[in-house]
Structure 1
Amino acid sequence: MSNTRFSLTSPDLQEGHFMAKDQEFDGFGCNGANISPALNWQNAPEGTKSFAVTVFDPDAPTCSGFWHWLVTDIPAAATGLPRGAGKGSLPPGSRSFTNDYGSKNFGGACPPEGHGMHRYQFTVWALPEETLPAPDGASAAVVGFMLNAMALAKATLTATYAR
Structure 2
Amino acid sequence: MPREYLLKDGSEFSLTSDDFKNGETIPKRFTCDGDNISPRLKWNGLSEAKSYALIVYDPDAPMKTFIHWVLYDIPPSLNSLYEAIQKNVVVEGVGKQGKNDFGEIGYDGPCPPRGHGVHRYYFAMHALNVDQLNIKGEVNADKLINLIRGKVIGYGLLMGKYQR
Q: TM-score, normalised by structure 2?
A: 0.85
- Equivalent residue letter for 1:82: Y
> CA RMSD of the aligned region, Å?
1.9
Tell whether 2:104 aligns with 1:97. no
Which residues in structure 2 correspond to 1:16-31 (within 5 Å)?
16-25=23-32, 31=33
Q: Point out which structure has higher relative CO (alpha carbons under 8 A, 6+ apart).
A: 2
Evaluate the alpha carbon distance shift between residue 154 and residue 91 of structure 1 in structure 2; reply closer, same or farther with a 3 A threshold: farther
Distance in structure 2 (CA, Å) of the matches to 1:56 and 1:128: 23
1:29-62 Cα distance to aligned partner (Å, 9 max, x none): xx321011000010x2342111112111011111
Evaluate the alpha carbon distance shift between residue 105 and residue 139 of structure 1 in structure 2; reply closer, same or farther with a 3 A threshold: closer
1:81-134 Cα distance to aligned partner (Å, 9 max, x none): 011125448443611110001111210000000111100001211111111253
- Equivalent residue letter for 2:16: T
Evaluate the alpha carbon distance shift between residue 146 and residue 96 of structure 1 in structure 2; reply closer, same or farther with a 3 A threshold: same
1:5-48 Cα distance to aligned partner (Å, 9 max, x none): 521111002111111111112xxxxx321011000010x23421
Gapped regions of structure 2 (runs ≥ 5): 1-10
In the other structure, the counterpart of 1:28 is none
Gapped regions of structure 1 (runs ≥ 5): 26-30
Distance in structure 1 (CA, Å) of the matches to 2:27 and 2:86: 16
Structure 1 outlier segments of 4+, above 3 Å: 86-91
Evaluate the alpha carbon distance shift between residue 34 and residue 16 of structure 1 in structure 2; reply closer, same or farther with a 3 A threshold: same
Aligned length: 153
| Percent identity for Structure 1 against Structure 2 | 35
